[in-house]
Amino acid sequence: EVVLTQSPATLSLSPGERATLSCRASQSVGSYLAWYQQKAGQAPRLLIYDASNRATGISARFSGSGSGTDFTLIISSLEPEDFAVYYCQQRSNWPLTFGGGTKVEIK
């Protein structure tokens, strides 16, 4: 099973700041990695798929990069609505797995 480790667990930032989230895989997943945003009481929302492709309707302030085992999600300038929990997910190997999440909170 591919284990996805997200860091940091919590990121405390102010609106307007840049957020850098990391997802590390226990083995190579190629480019088959996605990022989701989840707000309290809501379903997850796809932000990035296949490492760097923005999903439909997603703001350009969200960008994804990486391949193999190391991936990064960058939020270039935090808006108030960006404070949420972010998950990565791989589709390279069965079983599909999610990371444990990074909470981006207001400092």
Report the interface residues with other proteins, using CB under 8 A. Answer: 32, 34, 36, 38, 42-46, 49-50, 55-56, 87, 89, 91, 94-101
Dist CA 71 CA 20 (whole Å) = 10
Query: In sequence order, which residues have a C-beta less than 8 Å from that of residue 63 and are 6 or more positions away?
Result: 48, 52, 54, 73, 74, 76
Q: How far is the CB of 62 from other proteins (least distance, A)?
A: 14
Which C-beta is closer to other proteins: that of 41 or that of 80? Answer: 41
Relative to beta strand 85-90, strand 102-106 is: antiparallel
Q: How far is the CB of 16 from other proteins (least distance, A)?
A: 28
Which C-beta is closer to other proteins: that of 72 or that of 98? Answer: 98
Which C-beta is closer to other proteins: that of 14 or that of 42? Answer: 42
Q: For residue 87, how many other CB atoms are within 10 A of its CB?
A: 21
Which C-beta is closer to other proteins: that of 32 or that of 83? Answer: 32
| Nearest CA-CA partner of 45 in 28, 68, 62 | 62
